[in-house]
Chains A and B, each alone.
Chain A
Amino acid sequence: MPKITFIEDDGTEHAVEAGADESVMQAAMDNLVPGIVAECGGYANCATCHVYVDPEWADKLPAPEEAEEVMIEAAFDVRPTSRLSCQVQVTEDTDGLIVQLPASQTGA
Chain B
Amino acid sequence: MPENVVVVGAGQAGSELATTLRQRGWSGGITLIGDEVSPPYQRPPLSKGFLLGKLSREKLYLKPAATYERFNIALRLGTWAETIDRAAKELVVSDGSRLPYDKLVLATGGRARRLTLPGVDVDQLDNLFTLRRIDDVDALRPHFVPGRKLVLIGGGYVGLEIAAVATQLDLDVTVVEAAPRLLARVTGPEVSGFLEDVHRSHGVRFRLAATVADVAVDASGHRVTGVEVSASGVVERLDAGLVLVGIGMEPNTHLASAAGLEVDNGIVVDEFARTSDPDILAIGDCANQPSAYAGRRIRLESAPNAIEHAKVCAATILGRPQASTATPWFWSEQYDLKLQMVGLSAGHDRCITRGGTGTAMSAFYLTGDRIVAADVISRPADFATARQLVTSGRPVDPERLADSEIPLAQAAL
Contacts and interface: CB of A to CB of B under 8 A. Distances in A.
Interface of A: 29-34, 37-41, 43-47, 67, 70-71, 73-74, 108
Contacts of A71: 380, 383-384
Interface stretch (B61-69, B92-100, B265-273, B278-286): B61-69
Contacts of A41: 42, 44-45, 62, 303
Interface in B290-338: 303-304, 307-308, 315, 320, 329, 331, 333, 338
B304 A40 contact: yes
Given A39-B307, A40-B303, A67 B331 contact: no
A105 to B, nearest CB: 11
Nearest to A74: B384
Interface of B: 19, 22-24, 42, 44-45, 62-64, 67, 71, 303-304, 307-308, 315, 320, 329, 331, 333, 338, 340, 380-381, 383-385, 387-388
B329 A70 contact: no
A5 B62 CA distance: 20
Nearest to A108: B24
A71 B379 CA distance: 10
B387 A30 contact: no
B200 to A, nearest CB: 26
11 contacts: A32-B23, A38-B307, A39-B303, A39-B329, A40-B331, A43-B333, A46-B331, A47-B384, A71-B384, A73-B381, A74-B385
Nearest to B41: A41
- With most chain A CB atoms within 10 A of its CB, the pick from B67, B333, B380, B388 is B380
Contact of A30 (B42, B63, B329, B381): B63
